Structure 1
């Protein structure tokens, strides 16, 4: 199974990465209320000369200014979403609980030596800016225009990432999904619908006037058949739709969107599943006229051809005893050795800090799209079979990779099982996360001041 192959340091995108993706996704509504995601600068300006302590949490505190700034942030967000605010005392209690839990988790991160490097943080901020349609400089100006400093935003993101990593470390190991659970999910109605084949449909309509004589009907049939013949002879379906179709989606190239099998139009429900991608149907007759349907793209289902690459890599990590620059210098030295004839596998065994692949000479096996973190996948896709990449950085550290081979393989069943496992893992993770948060709160020393 794909998910079973991606253990350890194989750079599989984990729930920490997904949480970050969710954070990035919430940036889409910028520039309206950029500061909603971050602590309000106005709240910070209200910081009193002597800031009162609301709660002692283990070795740290939650202050009055933190509570005020977070409540300002949440109020701004709810107002922007036109969501009614809870009573002030209820909001205060909820926000205080949130800050206490964050303080506990940030102290855990510190004790465990977890760090978010400046390079990782800069890359994350650039990604957030890009997803919001800004350059980094433009994003900084957008924040500033709403009273939020770029440094405040950076530190908020750093805290989010640290908390995410703590949760993944502590909660991720509690979650186990069995093969039988995956099979049961795939056989359920919910599972079947979620993993069903989806078709991107194209449609061409040649209308027939109501009550038209047989001669007109035959003429229209000949017209639609001629269009079908041109498409079969390599004419572009979407261009033909724009030029000839009388359907309401004609100016969109006849594209009517993605449809699962149980969502297919009735006239095409028996036809579409039999069509290959790019194939056009026979003329289909309804009261409105003659139709042609084509499957422009297909995804999901039990048959999915995937382009895979056989990859091996070497990983060098920055750490408490090795700076970012030293890690980069070391991977560059290994890169030069390989270029000068050094054996990749032997260097991976002796130098790589990926504990899973290192002992196997850096071998990651056959890798499918979406299996690796974006930085790794981008370099992998740009590297031809038999070639070695230059050193590059991911959230895990510095890498070099070699693509040994490429192939296409039908991974439909494996992908379905992997998707099902991911759904079940996320469900269990959320349940375990809530349990764990209650546990750490119950075990921590917390003194809430009256």
Structure 2
């Protein structure tokens, strides 16, 4: 079945819709402020535009619309948290160059099997603005880098944690089961007293009963959930059992497709989970692995992105002219985990790598050195040294466990950090009919 472009692109983004532009055919009334957020504001035009996107998404799924007031407040809360992250990016000096943005847009078009011209034409057919699409991609890239600096780079997983995980029932389970989940989070305030906890528990129970009586889960998530993915209908995507707390995984294993679990108490509220699908179950699955080495050159305060690309290009030319890859990697690579080994990453699972690296590696022939390409970490030159299909070796299991544990910690830390920056910010909501809030 043919789907609209926006539906095919949506999984590429962090949470909000990728394409935000809608053609403005009629004159618009004067804009107004709907929220003051620290040193910035959220405008009513921004809110109305995002609400239209969410309504279009709901309509395409065939679900009923939540109450207008609930939808407006949910979308406004998302915009406030996005705004706070963009302000952090501004203060941190995070910039997205035109070259980086063009590359990101080109990658999105390529993943959809289109040239840039075809991509622009497809946007027009869907009534979407290319300029607004670029701006939203830019916003998402800034937010991604903010989260990388403030959350992902702080996460550490010890060797002992990996060993404990692999020895646990949970570690064994993650190799055989994977769940497609949706969630609804009914929050409790930080430091909530027993009365507030009881009120949240009652609210979660009411939502659960409505769901059991046939209420649409995605609609309820949009209207009632405080989770980061609420505006996506609570869709969490596919999660390995090992990415979830042990009590969750054990409970989810007993659920059938489409079944909804009773509310679960978690540190920041009550969680309602729905099992969309399950997959997996084979203990001995062959996996493709690639032996690869690379040189990473990072932009910095004293070296622009363009200068970084030029240095990577010079290293590429030196390798092509016969200089030793490993020697250059030891001298120039800024990947501390591989530089001393001549850039050697050993045998890796392609799925553990960022998409741009994985795609370049897939296109390269064995023994081929790629031209410089960019990822979120900087500019890379890589060489594929071998390919193999292998059973889950001990080393591969450890790498998979490390990835799972990092993802789990990241999910937990991200939610905590988002709540923290929201609680610490000054926010004054001016949306008519909304509760006034000022922190």
TM-score range, shorter chain: 0.5 to 0.7
Flag the 1:371–1:349 CA change in 2: closer, same or farther, 3 A.
same
Q: Verify the 8 A CA contact 1:307 1:369 in the aligned structure 2.
A: yes
Which residue number corresponds to residue 92 of structure 2? 112
Q: Verify the 8 A CA contact 2:157 2:405 in the aligned structure 1.
A: no
Flag the 1:124–1:392 CA change in 2: closer, same or farther, 3 A.
closer
* 1:349-360 superposed matches below 5 A: 349-360=330-341
Flag the 1:131–1:443 CA change in 2: closer, same or farther, 3 A.
same
Alpha-carbon RMSD across the aligned residues, in angstroms, is 3.6
Candidates 57, 79, 103, aligned match of 1:123: 103
Which residue number corresponds to residue 78 of structure 1? 58
**Is residue 168 from structure 1 mapped to residue 148 from structure 2 by the alignment?**
yes
**Deviation of the 1:354 alpha carbon:** 2.4
Q: Verify the 8 A CA contact 1:40 1:148 in the aligned structure 2.
A: yes
Separation (CA, whole Å) in 2 of partners of 1:408 and 1:82: 42
In structure 1, stretches of 5+ residues that fail to align are 1-23, 196-297
Separation (CA, whole Å) in 2 of partners of 1:299 and 1:397: 37
Q: Verify the 8 A CA contact 2:96 2:138 in the aligned structure 1.
A: yes
Structure with bigger gyration radius: 1
Which residue number corresponds to residue 301 of structure 1? 283
In structure 2, stretches of 5+ residues that fail to align are 179-279, 432-439
**Deviation of the 1:155 alpha carbon:** 1.0
* 1:131-150 superposed matches below 5 A: 131-150=111-130
**Is residue 437 from structure 1 mapped to residue 418 from structure 2 by the alignment?**
yes
| SS across alignment from 2:296 | strand
Separation (CA, whole Å) in 1 of partners of 2:97 and 2:382: 22
| SS across alignment from 2:117 | helix
Flag the 1:299–1:58 CA change in 2: closer, same or farther, 3 A.
same
**Deviation of the 1:60 alpha carbon:** 1.0
| SS across alignment from 1:110 | helix
Flag the 1:343–1:370 CA change in 2: closer, same or farther, 3 A.
same
Separation (CA, whole Å) in 2 of partners of 1:191 and 1:158: 35
| TM-score normalised over the length of structure 1 | 0.60
Separation (CA, whole Å) in 1 of partners of 2:300 and 2:25: 33
Separation (CA, whole Å) in 1 of partners of 2:19 and 2:297: 33
Separation (CA, whole Å) in 2 of partners of 1:381 and 1:73: 35
Candidates 183, 190, 199, aligned match of 2:167: 183
**Is residue 90 from structure 1 mapped to residue 70 from structure 2 by the alignment?**
yes
Separation (CA, whole Å) in 2 of partners of 1:356 and 1:346: 15
Separation (CA, whole Å) in 1 of partners of 2:411 and 2:105: 26
Flag the 1:448–1:366 CA change in 2: closer, same or farther, 3 A.
same
Q: Verify the 8 A CA contact 1:25 1:131 in the aligned structure 2.
A: no
Which residue number corresponds to residue 427 of structure 2? 446
**Deviation of the 1:323 alpha carbon:** 3.8
Separation (CA, whole Å) in 2 of partners of 1:378 and 1:192: 24
**Is residue 329 from structure 1 mapped to residue 310 from structure 2 by the alignment?**
yes
**Deviation of the 1:405 alpha carbon:** 5.8
Separation (CA, whole Å) in 2 of partners of 1:130 and 1:379: 13
Q: Verify the 8 A CA contact 1:101 1:441 in the aligned structure 2.
A: yes
CA displacement 1:134-179 (0-9 Å, x = unmatched): 4322221222233321010111122122212322332323474722
CA displacement 1:197-224 (0-9 Å, x = unmatched): xxxxxxxxxxxxxxxxxxxxxxxxxxxx
Separation (CA, whole Å) in 2 of partners of 1:302 and 1:417: 16
Flag the 1:371–1:97 CA change in 2: closer, same or farther, 3 A.
closer
**Deviation of the 1:100 alpha carbon:** 0.7
Candidates 272, 296, 299, aligned match of 1:315: 296
| SS across alignment from 1:41 | coil
Separation (CA, whole Å) in 1 of partners of 2:391 and 2:37: 53
Which residue number corresponds to residue 79 of structure 2? 99
Q: Verify the 8 A CA contact 2:6 2:19 in the aligned structure 1.
A: no
Q: Verify the 8 A CA contact 1:71 1:95 in the aligned structure 2.
A: yes
| SS across alignment from 1:411 | coil
More off after superposition, 103-112 vs 394-403: 394-403
| SS across alignment from 2:303 | coil
Separation (CA, whole Å) in 1 of partners of 2:124 and 2:107: 18
Candidates 55, 60, 65, aligned match of 2:40: 60
* 1:210-229 superposed matches below 5 A: none
| TM-score normalised over the length of structure 2 | 0.61
CA displacement 1:318-344 (0-9 Å, x = unmatched): 445434443232223223334445444
Separation (CA, whole Å) in 2 of partners of 1:143 and 1:430: 32
* 1:337-348 superposed matches below 5 A: 337-348=318-329
CA displacement 1:343-362 (0-9 Å, x = unmatched): 44443333223233234433
